[in-house]
Amino acid sequence: MPYLCVPEIFLDANATTPVLPEIFEVMQNVCCSQYGNPSSSHLAGTKPKKILADTRTAAAELFNVNDGRFIFNSGATEGINTAVLSALAPYTGSEQTRKCLLYGATEHKAVPEALKHWNQVLGLKAQLLEIPTNQFGELDLEFIEKNLSKALMLCTMGANNETGVVQNLEEVNSLLNHSSKVPWLVDSVQVLGKVPLDLGKLAIDYATFSAHKLYGPKGTGCLFVRDSAPYTPLQQGGGQECGERGGTENMAGIAALGRIFQWLKAPGTSPFQDMNQLLAYRDQILSALRHLFPDLVLNQPYPGSLPTTLNFAVPGFDSSQLIAMFDAAGIRVSAGSACSKGRPQSFVLKAMGLPSWQCEGAIRLSFGPASSPEFIQQVTQRIEEMAKRRNATATPTNNELWVPDPFALGFAGFADNVNKTLYYAGDILQVEQYLQQRFSNSEWQLTKLEAGKHEFGDFFFKIADANHFTIGHNYTGNALAFTSGGVVITEKQCEDVEIISAEEVIRRNFVLIDVRERLEFTMQSLTDTEYSVIESERHDWCRLALSYTHDKATEAAITVCRSGGRSLKAAALIHAASRAKVYSCSDGATDIFQLLAEK
């Protein structure tokens, strides 16, 4: 029986895409056969030179423009930095405190970061001014109009990477004074292949493109520059790109870009689906998602946004929980821009004025325009299976020993399920968000433990003061000391854990300690394999660590999680409590399933 998580279903096309086989063939030719340097005078330079020229011609035709040039580069971020430098370099060293740099509040972070950077490097001190958007993510045109006269540069985007909101560039265009024009950059990364862009009609000065958002390789793209726009190279070298961008050209990437432009010019012959088909795909996926999450809320105008992008939130879940859940089911989705991970909230959704919980719980699901109907069917089937599994799972009861996050929070509790009382040590304010979910005020009584020793079944709590306590197990003798920041596990203790790869795991006879969360177990349970498995969520890790005894007669145990991070910590915790040697898997459960599926 196939495991749910295999094969991987990649639904993060707005972050990146695989290279299509037809495009990879083009790259192979350029890497291995026609590998000459286009700057060479000998014959091996001829074909690469022609690839450059042909790709440029295709771009000019595709975007309907003849008064500008396409400069090949390493991708949109380089393009953005080049455009910003070009617009700002003329003011180097002269303070521009009364001037502003205008950019949309929902721009990709690369835009404000580049503006901030060059504003500082060139010593301009211009004001960075964010153009607000309405709840639909549309730019405030009046704001632009009001501030345009003092702007050194205007930066907007064609379509938003997180929400798929398509900006009305013609309206922005109509605001510009075409005689004394503010340089206008349009981040066009997400429109490529999804929304037509007519550079002949719009007075855009700079437009940026990346190949890897449309089945090309990462690290390549191009920048359109209008002939009338100021230009300063970001890198000078051996005179490539007419002296406008030094460095040997990324030929494989440019050839791939050429293939993509050719396809876009002749839609009938390309693997790209038409708009209506893409809209229908998105409807199908959304409908399956509503079975999985009946209370799903969309974070985007629908259907009036990029047909390949869905952005939603689910009450009660934050992004990382949902990502982990989808990951366990073999579906890769993101919390927004791949480049802004780690940020607690989506700034894009925040700028649109969405409620906090939607910004914190946002999930972006995006597919490429070359998706086949079969692929979309796989997607919906997988989501329907997730819904089935979720519905079949009973609500878990509260474990008795409850330590929501032993590494971050100085808190441990013991739940008396009969008297509905949670006895606890440490700072309860730290765990408020966890409490809401498990021990609601209306049902549970919370009782703080006084200094001294308290016994609860096999466990005991020894309270020293508000910030120091120990929990332990009467029979194993295991114990863990807490400070206000939780259990202290040193780097050394983590380094001491022996790491084993997934390949090694499936060759040996480990007991697997799955240290992920309930949502993940539900979608992908290691109990479906031949191994002995212990499932232990984070709030249960301390109970496991305190009860753990190392019996030399039994098999060795190894912690497993999603990708080797949590498992390492859990193994160190078990060792700290019990002195027992527990291995940690450097890979994750998905790798184990993958290897088992290949066997």
Residues 300-359 that bind a copy of itself (CB under 8 A): 320, 323, 326-327, 332-335, 337-341
Residue 43 in the binding site for a copy of itself (CB under 8 A): yes
Establish if 44 lies at the interface with a copy of itself (CB under 8 A). yes
The three-state secondary structure class of 394 is coil
Select 320 or 547, whichever has its Cβ closest to a copy of itself.
320
Quick one: 131 exposed, middle or buried, by C-beta within 10 A (0-12, 13-18, 19+)? buried
77 binds a copy of itself (CB under 8 A): yes
Residue 19 as a binder of a copy of itself (CB under 8 A): the answer is: yes
Helix, strand or coil for residue 347?
helix
- Please give the Cα distance from 482 to 569 (Å, whole number): 16
Amino acid at the residue 249: E
Nearest to a copy of itself of 168, 236 (CB atom)? 236
Q: Over the Cα atoms of the chain, what is R_g?
A: 28
Interacting stretch for a copy of itself, rule CB under 8 A, among 104-112, 454-462, 466-474, 515-523?
104-112
DSSP code of 33?
I
**Of the two residues 220 and 536, which places its CB atom closer to a copy of itself in the complex?**
220
Which residue number, 77 or 167, has a Cβ lying nearer to a copy of itself? 77
Among residues 26, 27, 359, 560, which is the contact residue for a copy of itself, using CB under 8 A?
27
Q: Check: CB of residue 259 under 8 Å from CB of residue 26.
A: yes
What residues from 417 to 476 belong to the interface with a copy of itself (CB under 8 A)? Answer: none
Q: Is 242 in the site for a copy of itself (CB under 8 A)?
A: no
- 217 lines the binding site for a copy of itself (CB under 8 A): yes
Selected binder of a copy of itself within 56, 69, 99, 108 (CB under 8 A): 108
| Smallest gap from residue 150 Cβ to a copy of itself (A) | 21
The edge-to-edge listing of strands for the beta sheet with 452-456 is 452-456, 459-465, 468-473, 479-483, 486-487
Of 32, 339, 359, 585, the active-site residue reads 339
Residue in 59, 76, 401, 542 binding a copy of itself, rule: CB under 8 A: 76
CB of 78 to a copy of itself, least distance (A): 5
Instruction: By CB under 8 A, name the one of 96, 190, 240, 366 that touches a copy of itself.
Output: 240
For 412, the enclosing helix (H) or strand (E) is strand 411-416
State the nearest-atom distance from the C-beta of 393 to a copy of itself, in Å: 22
CB atoms within 10 A of CB 421: 16
- Determine whether 339 is an active site residue: yes
Query: Interface residues for a copy of itself in 244-283 (CB under 8 A)?
Result: 246-253
The binding track of 174-213 with respect to a copy of itself, each residue x by CB under 8 A or -, is ------------------------------------x-x-
Q: Is the peptide bond before 7 cis (omega within 30 degrees of 0)?
A: yes
Q: Enumerate the H helices of 366-449 as residue ranges.
A: 373-392, 432-438
Under rule CB under 8 A, which residues in 220-239 are in contact with a copy of itself?
220, 232-239
Question: 66 is written with which tokens?
Answer: 């003849």
Which helix or strand (DSSP H or E) is residue 222 part of? Answer: strand 221-226
Judge contact between 545 and 514, C-beta under 8 A: no
Query: CA nearest 272: which of 283, 260, 284, 286?
Result: 260
What residues numbered 539-598 form the site for a copy of itself, per CB under 8 A?
562-563, 588, 590
15 touches a copy of itself by CB under 8 A: yes
- CA distance readout (Å), 353 to 222, 300, 347: 33, 12, 10
Q: Give the integer Cα–Cα distance in Å for 558 and 565.
A: 13
SS3 128: strand
The answer to whether residue 503 forms part of the interface with a copy of itself (CB under 8 A) is: no
* Catalytic residue set: 339
